[in-house]
Amino acid sequence: MLRTPQRIFFLLFLLALLTSFFGSAPSAKSQDSAVEPPATVTANDVKDVADELWCPLCSGVRLDACELKACEQMREVIADKLTAGEPKDDIKNYFVAQYGPQVLGEPPLEGFNWLAWLLPVAVMIGGGVFVWRRMRGMIAAKTTETPPSPTAANDEYYDRLEEELKRYD
């Protein structure tokens, strides 16, 4: 009977052997052939790419929802490029080259644009720390407060109050 570490090693060896056997099976496609274009490009295929792009003319409108003639032509370009078999990232890069990074709807993660990603997070963390410290300070100040002691000017009234309270006890 095999001990547990030996069983694990045997199972891993068997798994590696099966993976290499089935992984090296000849495929029906030639690896040298170019990417075949899809048979038909549907409206959903175009919408999937257009969802990630923004209209360069309108402010804050995605390309799939914009009704301008220019955006309609851009969707046609997307359909043509998908029909030609271009991947989604290449199509997006084409539009970035044509219209600039604002067509992506978000700043790229490079250079000065990092501030657009990091500043909101830093402000939220800083604000949370500020509120937490203020609340902690307010609670600490409230618990250390002592009741005011009667002053010399109020001694007469304080003594009268004490006498009257003793009568009701």
pLDDT value at residue 129: 94
Instruction: Record the pTM.
Output: 0.46
Tell me 68's DSSP state. S
Residue 63: CB partners within 8 Å, gap ≥ 6? Answer: 50, 51, 53, 54, 55, 71, 74, 75, 103
- Could you read off the pLDDT of 21-36 as tens digits, one per residue? 555 444 444 444 444 5
Tokens of 103: 């067509």
Distance CA 49, CA 99 (A): 16
Distance CA 33, CA 38 (A): 15
Each residue's pLDDT tens digit, 34-81 = 445 555 778 888 888 888 888 888 877 888 888 888 888 888 999 998
CA-CA distance, 70 to 68, in Å (whole number)? Answer: 5
Yes or no: domain 43-106 corresponds to CATH 2.30.42.10: no
Which amino acid makes up residue 26?
A: P
